[in-house]
Amino acid sequence: MSTPESGKSEPVSIRVLDREYTVGVTEAERASLTSAARMLDARMRELRGSNKMVAPDRLAVLTALNLAHELQQRDAVS
């Protein structure tokens, strides 16, 4: 997200699994962050499925691992 040299940071609220988070981003980063939050929310909901009892922190780690694995696979092909 934003770094000191990238411009003025503004708070943006995003929702992931019905929890709200506030993140500081520049105006240029806002759309990308919002899109990333929607993708993360969708992936976490997909992984959770109908099992609403999965701990959110465990679900977040599993989702992050899946996304990291996909990035590695994409980089390996490039």
User: Is 26 in contact with 10 (CB distance < 8 Å)?
Assistant: yes
User: Total structural domains in the chain?
Assistant: 1
Domain of 68 in residue numbering reads as 4-77
pTM of the model: 0.82
User: Is 29 in contact with 47 (CB distance < 8 Å)?
Assistant: no
On the question of pLDDT at 5 being above 60, the answer is no
CATH number of the domain within which 50 lies: 3.30.160.880
pLDDT band at 7 (very low <50, low <70, confident <90, very high): confident
Burial group, residue 48, by CB count within 10 angstroms (0-12, 13-18, 19+): middle
- What is the per-residue pLDDT across 27-55, written as a single tens digit (0 to 9) for each? 999 999 999 999 999 999 999 999 989 99
